[in-house]
Structure 1
């Protein structure tokens, strides 16, 4: 072998222990990456499992929402069915008093009156417990939302003032159950003699 050939051939350098250790670590890391990375089949299995979990959660949420809706409907139905239960219970003593009055023989007029007054107080208490309020607008300004005018009469009161209550009205909370039937004041007309005197004076 000539001197020139020896100069052109690569000379294998011996690896140091540090370089050999680094190469071995790199190879091990590549092997670990290959082992950790899941296969397509594994990725598909995981995706299907998550999809099934989400579907189950959706079914549970749907069932819970349906249960809530059904319970709400049942509560509304019960409230509508038994809305008058409290008022009906408060009316029972009134009926008992009326039956007792009719069942008592040989009543005097005064005894009968006292029984009717007692029954009326029971009825008023029942109305109060049910938030039923009376409309008695005597002397008040006419209100078309609460009153129903059946006529007008001449009066010393201001025009559109309620001067006579023919039938009381009632409110349930703020809703009108029945308007009060009333007569409303109108200005008094001038006497004919006064009108004639005024006309004569003007002529």
Structure 2
């Protein structure tokens, strides 16, 4: 470049760029665009993977929920069948007793056998009768329906069982309905 050109350039305030510099500055935005495009493609791939993973997790969760509902229903049915099975024999014996022609004493003996069978079925399920007659009244397992005035028995001793109470292991199913002793000569605890 001559001095005349240089002077003219200085006057206009524009710098004349060499052809190599023009080419480099033009490719810079192209490289930036391709870099951003590559990053965008990578993010789209990650998004697609995450959406696929989410869909799989939702499907697994739905399957687990359905499996849990089915297992719960199966467990309930299994429990009911194991609970009912011992009582089917009791029902059979009641039906046989109703068809039988016998004396009142024979019928009573049959009912006592059926009651024993029922008690055995309950025992097999860990259901026990609540202790009543002769025991001290316990409001946690007994429900008093009345009292009987007496001087022969200690105050609040259970004298009569009106309805049997039951518990399964230590949990009370229903309290026993009882009548208790009322001994005015004795102070209760």
Same fold (TM over 0.5): yes
TM, length-normalised to structure 1: 0.63
Q: Deviations over 1:169-202 (max 9, x none)?
A: 1124444332111112222459xxxxxxxxxxxx
Q: Which runs of 5+ in 2 are unaligned?
A: 1-33
Residue matched to 1:112: 107
Contact 1:135 1:168 in 2 (8 A): yes
Q: How many correspondences in the alignment? A: 152
Q: In the alignment, which of 166, 169, 174 is matched to residue 170 of structure 1?
A: 166
Residue matched to 1:87: 83
Q: Secondary structure at the match of 1:91?
A: helix
- Distance in 2 between residues matched to 1:49 and 1:57, nearest whole Å: 12
- Distance in 2 between residues matched to 1:48 and 1:125, nearest whole Å: 69
- Distance in 1 between residues matched to 2:116 and 2:153, nearest whole Å: 33
- Distance in 2 between residues matched to 1:79 and 1:173, nearest whole Å: 21
Q: Deviations over 1:66-119 (max 9, x none)?
A: 2212222333344446643222221111111122223233x2455434322321
- Distance in 2 between residues matched to 1:109 and 1:151, nearest whole Å: 33
Contact 1:169 1:180 in 2 (8 A): yes
1:131 corresponds to 2:126: yes
Residue matched to 1:48: 44
- Distance in 2 between residues matched to 1:77 and 1:93, nearest whole Å: 25
Contact 1:138 1:162 in 2 (8 A): yes
TM, length-normalised to structure 2: 0.67
1:97 corresponds to 2:97: no
Distance apart, 1:42 and its partner CA: 2.2
Contact 1:136 1:165 in 2 (8 A): no
- Distance in 1 between residues matched to 2:139 and 2:48, nearest whole Å: 65
Residue matched to 1:150: 145
Residue matched to 2:9: none
1:70 corresponds to 2:60: no
1:141 corresponds to 2:136: yes
Q: CA RMSD in A?
A: 2.6
Q: Deviations over 1:21-69 (max 9, x none)?
A: xxxxxxxxxxxxxxxxx83322221221122112211221122112212
Q: Which runs of 5+ in 1 are unaligned?
A: 1-37, 191-203
